[in-house]
């Protein structure tokens, strides 16, 4: 998420610098680049500004209860998404067990003497006093 924000910030900064450079070149040459496009973008920018102003006025009219209800709705949605994730996790485990050649895996005692000694040492937690399990 931070990388995305950094990329958006960097691109915005580059775009702003490019706009200032375009304005400087226009002033230097006395010529306006793409006047039709600029006029259309000005009209759209003013329309967007009017929409944002109207949206601010409408949002100010919303009661605090609506904000609280939206927060509760988002909370419930998050809980349901977590519940669905837990369900899907269980189903994934069931599927893995179904396709596995070792249905109902049960751990057996190791056959190797070395592994038996390591297991005994771990279960003993080194209570023999030395770290080598009594062997030198």
Per-residue pLDDT tens over the stretch 15-24: 999 999 999 9
| In the chain, domain spans | 1-30, 34-61, 63-121
Give residue 132's pLDDT band: very low, low, confident or very high (50, 70, 90): low
CA distance 122 to 11: 55
SS (H, E, C) the chain: CHHHHHHHHHHHHHHHHHHHHHHHHHHHHCCCCCHHHHHHHHHHHHHHHHHHHHHHHHHHHCCHHHHHHHHHHHHHHHHHHHHHHHHHHHHHHHHHHHHCCCCCCCCCCCCCHHHHHHHHHHHHCCCCCCCCCCCC
Match 């070792």 to its residue by tokens: 102
pTM summary value: 0.39
Per-residue pLDDT tens over the stretch 59-93: 888 788 888 889 999 999 999 999 999 999 999 98
Of 11-15, 28-32, 90-94, 99-103, give the lowest mean pLDDT range: 99-103
């Amino acid at each position: 998420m931070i990388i995305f924000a950094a990329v958006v910030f960097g691109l915005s900064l580059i775009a702003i610098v490019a706009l200032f450079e375009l304005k400087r070149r226009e002033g230097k040459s006395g010529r306006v680049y793409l006047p039709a496009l600029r006029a259309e973008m000005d009209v759209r920018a003013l329309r967007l500004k009017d929409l944002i102003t109207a949206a601010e006025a409408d949002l100010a009219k919303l009661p605090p209860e609506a904000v609280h209800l939206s927060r509760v709705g988002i909370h419930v949605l998050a809980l349901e998404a977590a519940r669905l994730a837990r369900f899907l996790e269980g189903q994934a485990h069931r599927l893995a067990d179904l396709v596995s050649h070792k249905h109902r895996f049960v751990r057996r005692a190791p056959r190797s003497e070395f592994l038996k000694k390591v297991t005994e040492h771990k279960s003993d937690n080194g209570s023999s006093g030395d770290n080598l399990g009594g062997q030198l």
